[in-house]
Amino acid sequence: MEKLSIVKISGNIIEDENVLNDFLSLFSKIEGKKILVHGGGKKATQMASKLEIESTMINGRRITNAETLEVITMVYGGLVNKNIVAKLQALRTNAIGLSGADGNSILSEKRPIKEIDFGFVGDVKVVDNDAIEVLITNLFTPVFCAITHDGKGQLLNTNSDTITSQIAIAMSKKYQTSIYYCFELKGVLSDFNNKDSVIKHIDSGRYSSLLSEGIILDGMIPKLENCFYALKNGVNEVFMGNTNILTKENDHFTKITL
Amino acid sequence: MEKLSIVKISGNIIEDENVLNDFLSLFSKIEGKKILVHGGGKKATQMASKLEIESTMINGRRITNAETLEVITMVYGGLVNKNIVAKLQALRTNAIGLSGADGNSILSEKRPIKEIDFGFVGDVKVVDNDAIEVLITNLFTPVFCAITHDGKGQLLNTNSDTITSQIAIAMSKKYQTSIYYCFELKGVLSDFNNKDSVIKHIDSGRYSSLLSEGIILDGMIPKLENCFYALKNGVNEVFMGNTNILTKENDHFTKITL
């Protein structure tokens, strides 16, 4: 099967113009078919603050009310997405910016209200791999922002790590898929106080022991759960680290396999 | 040749949720291939005002500085475009939202500085009809916002009437094209104080006499010049009026031919 790279960039890359430019230059050099996924990082929070929209937090988690969704749609879907697309075009990568509503590519479902009403937050139901396939076989490079829709006219704020893994899973029926999660660290660390303590390879067995030893904690747990979910559903390999994982010039990153 | 409808909606349709919903319902019922073009109307001005961005006007014309371009990118490219796309998906029209940077579909050139520096405003250079053709033959309905790019990474604010006619001209090499300019009036009026005084048909000869008689004035002149430019360059017919022109249930609209 042909290879397909799905790359997700975290907020810290989007927030710094120079870091973003360096990343996009590396991304444009990836050979073969590729997809980019991004959120909006602090830019959305800054815009909400300028517009005096209050961020409602429940148990430390942000609630997406109607006004916050508007800001996210403006910042992720407009400002960040269109600027990334224009920059990629300058690098001769024929990018096409998408939300999950575009081409009905990612259908989601508003998260049901249990203890917490998260507001306009969507959980992915269906990724239309045929729609995405049409674009990539015609040599477009899809650039997804972290917004989906419910098919009934409602946009929904959606976790960009989940969007990435769900796209990769859907596309793994047609391609040999690799996910690259680019974030601020060199990889998964064995000692959070030592930024160089990168764990170079994690498989299911190693993951279990890292968990039981308490080495993997907090926000890293859902990220890794998401990676193993993708691997169990057809994704070939997952890389986590800074933008260096795109070149693999050294082994200072984490490779995750089943 | 197969038919293609290119529809442009003006600000008044975007600004009123009910009017927009009615319009989109009519648009989704247009048979055959179609393209939608929109700006952002007063929503961009309102957002700029909330963000305390000053609008610089020179000789009554707005200047697009860097901050204004950001607002336009957020409002046109994000808020308005993604909401229209989600609403069209709910109407079973497989919309895909685009700026001219997406798929490198509309390349423009920053307007040269003569007496006035308009800032980040682009004049259309090339519409890539192959890129648009790929999308529409795969049954996507492109929804363009009034933003283009210069191919060097810069987004540019671009007149949406011009985008519409330039897309129609480019597509007329492959399709029999009709343009529908939907705005707040029933059509071109012979008496501006009588909203029912619609001129039902204007051809080149009639246009000359209407101009010399002083019946067509002010902002309507560049709009009609743009229509005749499109007609002279391959577009089949142009309609101007309110959303009624999409159904043609009566003849209260203006049809423009060479």
- The answer to whether position B250 is within a domain reads no
Q: What is the CATH number of the domain that holds A107?
A: 3.40.1160.10
Residue at A216: amino acid letter: I
- In chain A, the number of structural domains is 1
What mean pLDDT is predicted for residues B16-27?
A: 96
Q: How confident is the model over B61-110, as pLDDT tens digits?
A: 779 999 999 999 999 999 999 999 999 999 999 999 999 999 999 999 99
Q: Where are the beta strands (DSSP E) in A10-94?
A: 33-38, 56-58, 61-63
Rounded Cα gap, residues A71 and A232, in angstroms: 35
Is the ipTM here above 0.90? yes
- Whether B85 sits inside 8 A of A102 (CB atoms) is yes
B164 touches chain A (CB under 8 A): no
Two tokens, residue B79: 């808020």
- Whether A96 sits inside 8 A of B75 (CB atoms) is no
Write the DSSP symbol of residue B203: -
| Residues in chain B within 8 Å Cβ distance of A97 | 97-99, 101-102
Rounded Cα gap, residues B148 and B157, in angstroms: 7
What mean pLDDT is predicted for residues A66-80?
A: 97
pLDDT tier for residue A62 given thresholds of 50, 70 and 90: confident
Evaluate whether B182 touches B23 at the Cβ level (below 8 Å). yes
Nearest residue on chain B to A24, judged by CA atoms?
Answer: B153
Evaluate whether B64 touches B119 at the Cβ level (below 8 Å). yes
Query: CA of B200, closest CA in chain A: separation in Å?
Result: 36
What is the b/e burial string over A57-72, where b = at least 16 CB atoms within 10 angstroms of the residue's CB?
Answer: eeeeebbbbeebbbbb
| Residues in chain A within 8 Å Cβ distance of B94 | 103-104
Instruction: Indicate whether A60 pLDDT > 90.
Output: no
- The answer to whether position B9 is within a domain reads yes
Instruction: Indicate whether B42 pLDDT > 90.
Output: no
Q: What is the CA radius of gyration of chain A?
A: 18
Q: How confident is the model over B195-252, as pLDDT tens digits?
A: 999 999 999 999 999 999 999 988 899 999 999 999 999 999 999 999 989 998 888 9
With a pLDDT cut of 70, the percent of chain A lying above it is 100
- Whether B79 sits inside 8 A of A70 (CB atoms) is yes
pLDDT tier for residue A115 given thresholds of 50, 70 and 90: confident
- The answer to whether position B202 is within a domain reads no
Domain carrying residue B73: 3-186
Nearest residue on chain B to A69, judged by CA atoms?
Answer: B79
Rounded Cα gap, residues B84 and B141, in angstroms: 12
- Whether B94 sits inside 8 A of A103 (CB atoms) is yes
Strand partners, A119: A64
Evaluate whether B237 touches B220 at the Cβ level (below 8 Å). no
Rounded Cα gap, residues B40 and B38, in angstroms: 7
In this predicted structure, what is the pLDDT of residue B248? 83
Rounded Cα gap, residues A86 and A90, in angstroms: 6
- The answer to whether position B200 is within a domain reads no
- The answer to whether position B231 is within a domain reads no
- The SS3 of residue A40 is coil
Q: Where are the beta strands (DSSP E) in chain A?
A: 3-9, 33-38, 56-58, 61-63, 95-98, 106-110, 122-127, 141-145, 147-149, 155-157, 176-182, 201-202, 237-241, 254-256
Two tokens, residue B23: 């319009």
A154 touches chain B (CB under 8 A): yes
- First-to-final CA distance of chain A: 19
Residue B205, C-beta contacts closer than 8 angstroms, at least 6 positions apart: none
> Please, is A252 exposed, middle or buried when counting C-beta atoms within 10 Å of its C-beta (0-12, 13-18, 19+)?
middle
